């Protein structure tokens, strides 16, 4: 991530990027240690390959596209915010971005503690006794981890100081909406009780909207 930011920027004099990396690294370490203590199973899943044997082909392709967009957008934001200076973002907006990142990570940690089956790929984990999770944030929307992901994608360009980077946030939101369709089709077919859960919790991502 550091290379993707500082190489296109052409300089190490980028406070927003240093704050971003420090925040991501520190939060990742804290969340990783907490999961290792309380739920090593979900930590193992989160650290697994983004392409797996039992994963639907459509998800393999889409997830690779999402990763390309994420890492490509980081390089683009470096060009925007630093090398060419297309964006001029106030420091207070960057501070809001840092706060949004913090909220996103804490929210997704809460989601992972609620759902030990929250793998990075779409699959039915029969070997782990996969069941429907309907408690905690899953009682409000069916895909709360994506809510946290969208917050993360929003906070990143704000903290890095790239207004144009918000276009990547919009694109990633669209890609996640497509992925939700693939995930729900897989869960309806392979996970007992999921169809009933969708009737209990009507909204996928945003309460009262979608």
Residue 205 included in any domain: no
- Whether 92 shows a pLDDT value over 90: the answer reads yes
CATH number at residue 42: 1.20.120.1630
Residue 209 included in any domain: no
**How high is the pLDDT of residue 48?**
87
What is the reported pTM? 0.92
Residue 73 included in any domain: yes
Residue 162 included in any domain: yes
Per the structure, the complete domain to which residue 104 belongs is given by: 2-200
Q: Residues with Cβ < 8 Å from 96, sequence gap 6 or more?
A: 158
Compute CA distances 24 → 12, 42, 104, whole Å.
Answer: 18, 19, 11
pLDDT tier for residue 209 given thresholds of 50, 70 and 90: confident
In angstroms and rounded to an integer, the radius of gyration of the C-alpha atoms of the chain is 18
Q: Provide the H-helix boundaries in the chain.
A: 2-9, 15-38, 40-46, 57-78, 91-114, 144-160, 166-190, 194-200
**How high is the pLDDT of residue 135?**
94
Q: Are 16 and 81 in contact (CB under 8 A)?
A: yes
Residue in 119, 147, 121 with CA at minimum distance from that of residue 133: 119
Average pLDDT of the chain, as a whole number? 94
- The mean pLDDT value for 75-92 works out to 95
Residue 49 included in any domain: yes
**How high is the pLDDT of residue 2?**
94
CA distance 203 to 210: 5
**How high is the pLDDT of residue 126?**
86
Please state the separation of Cα 155 from the chain's center in Å. Answer: 11
**How high is the pLDDT of residue 55?**
87
- pLDDT, one tens digit per residue, over 13-37 is 999 999 999 999 999 999 999 999 9
Residue 207 included in any domain: no
Residue 190 included in any domain: yes
Residue 165 included in any domain: yes
Domain count across the chain: 1
């Amino acid at each position: 991530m550091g290379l993707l930011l500082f190489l296109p920027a052409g300089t190490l004099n980028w406070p927003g990027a240093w704050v971003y990396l420090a925040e991501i690294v520190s939060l990742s370490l804290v969340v990783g240690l907490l999961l290792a203590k309380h739920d090593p199973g979900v930590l193992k899943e989160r650290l697994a390959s983004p392409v797996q044997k039992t994963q639907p082909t459509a998800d393999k392709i889409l997830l690779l596209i999402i990763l390309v967009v994420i890492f490509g957008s980081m390089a683009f934001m470096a060009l925007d915010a630093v090398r060419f200076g297309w964006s001029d973002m106030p420091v207070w907006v960057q501070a809001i971005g840092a706060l949004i990142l913090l909220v996103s990570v804490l929210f997704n940690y809460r989601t992972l503690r609620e759902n030990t089956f929250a793998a990075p790929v779409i699959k039915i984990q029969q070997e782990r006794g996969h069941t429907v999770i309907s408690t905690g944030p899953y009682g409000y929307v069916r895909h709360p981890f994506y809510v946290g992901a969208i917050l993360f994608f929003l906070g990143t360009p704000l903290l890095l100081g790239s207004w144009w980077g918000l276009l990547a946030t919009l694109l990633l939101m669209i890609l996640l909406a497509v992925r939700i369709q693939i995930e729900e089709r897989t869960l309806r077919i392979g996970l007992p009780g999921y169809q009933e859960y969708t009737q209990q919790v009507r909204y996928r991502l945003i309460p009262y909207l979608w």
